[in-house]
Amino acid sequence: MKYTVRVDDKVHTLITFVQGVRMSKTIDDPRNARSQRTREALLAATRAILEADGFEALTMTAVAERAGVTRRAVYLHFNSRSELVSALFGYIAEQEGLAESVASVQHAPDAVSALRAWARHLAGYHPRVMLVDRAIQRVEHADADAARHRETVNEAQLVGCRRVAESLAAEGRLAPPWTVATATDMLWGLIATDLFERLLTGREWSRQQLEERLLVLFEATFVSHDGAR
């Protein structure tokens, strides 16, 4: 039986957002292939600029030049830099297969399996988005667009962490002294680019090693074997 978790309207909305983001823009839901290709090229250019040059280099002009279109074409799809950055989360999620990656968590047969699937998701997904995350991290305290992007990412991550913590608690498998709230916080705190960079780059762990050791850490920390059934 698949586990179920009650979510409020805000969380349900965010899950829908993660799985199929459709941000508002001047051209509502591009209806032709050319328009869709242009929009995707603009978002790809935005990501490339962030990864190569940082958030400071992100302007509408820079995006137009990188995408090989006019500045007017950028504004036909996005009213502002803020709107462009807001759409970036959904674009990256789609490109990197976020919905598919978290599906194994959502459809796990039990809470411990969900926790293991969460570790696999983190080890597979997060390293692919670390360059953008690092670019956002450098300026989020001084740039409102970066701060909004960070808030979107944080809330999406918290949804996943809360789902895992709630399922462990519902099945009597959440180890003391953790509560749903504190387990959610700790699971979320462990999704840290600094941590992943230190292990993958500084200590030269492979992604497979990262996954295996996250599994060990998560199970040893959060799973109570007294409640096993």
Looking at the structure, tell me whether residues 112 and 191 fall in a common domain. yes
pLDDT in tens, 177-218: 999 999 999 999 999 999 999 999 999 999 999 999 999 999
Give the model's pLDDT for residue 207: 96
Statement to judge: residues 131 and 195 lie in one domain: yes
Question: Residue 4 domain-assigned?
Answer: no
Same domain, residue pair 107 and 181: yes
Q: Kindly state whether residues 49 and 65 are assigned to the same domain.
A: yes
Q: What is the predicted pLDDT for the residue at 8?
A: 44
Indicate if 111 and 68 belong to the same structural domain.
no
In a domain, 34, yes or no: yes
For the stretch 108-150, pLDDT in tens is: 999 999 999 999 999 999 999 999 999 999 999 999 999 999 9
On whether residue 147 sits in a domain, the answer given is: yes
In a domain, 81, yes or no: yes
First-to-last alpha carbon distance for the chain, in angstroms, is 14
In a domain, 183, yes or no: yes
Q: Is residue 58 located within the same domain as residue 135?
A: no
> Considering the domain boundaries, does residue 228 fall inside one?
no
Q: Which token pair is 149? A: 């992007």
Q: Tell me which residue range forms the domain holding 48.
A: 23-87
- Residues 210, 111 share a domain: yes
pLDDT, tens only, 66-77: 999 999 999 999
Q: What percent of the chain has pLDDT over 70?
A: 85
Query: 218 lies in a domain?
Result: yes
Res. 4: pLDDT tops 60: no
Supply the CATH number for residue 194's domain: 1.10.357
What is the tally of structural domains in the chain?
Answer: 2
At 31, is the pLDDT very low, low, confident or very high (cuts 50, 70, 90)? low
Q: Indicate whether 102 and 156 sit together in one domain.
A: yes
Q: Residue 56 is part of a domain; what is its CATH number? A: 1.10.10.60
Domain boundary among 40, 63, 87: 87
Asked if the model's pLDDT at residue 9 lies above 60, the reply is: no
pLDDT of residue 19: 45
Is the residue at 2 inside a domain?
no
Q: What is the pLDDT of residue 106?
A: 93
Mean pLDDT in residue range 145-158: 95
Structural domain ending residue among the three candidates 34, 61, 87: 87
Whether residues 83 and 126 share a domain: the answer is no
Domain end marker among 36, 65, 87: 87
Distance between CA 32 and CA 121 in Å, rounded?
Answer: 33
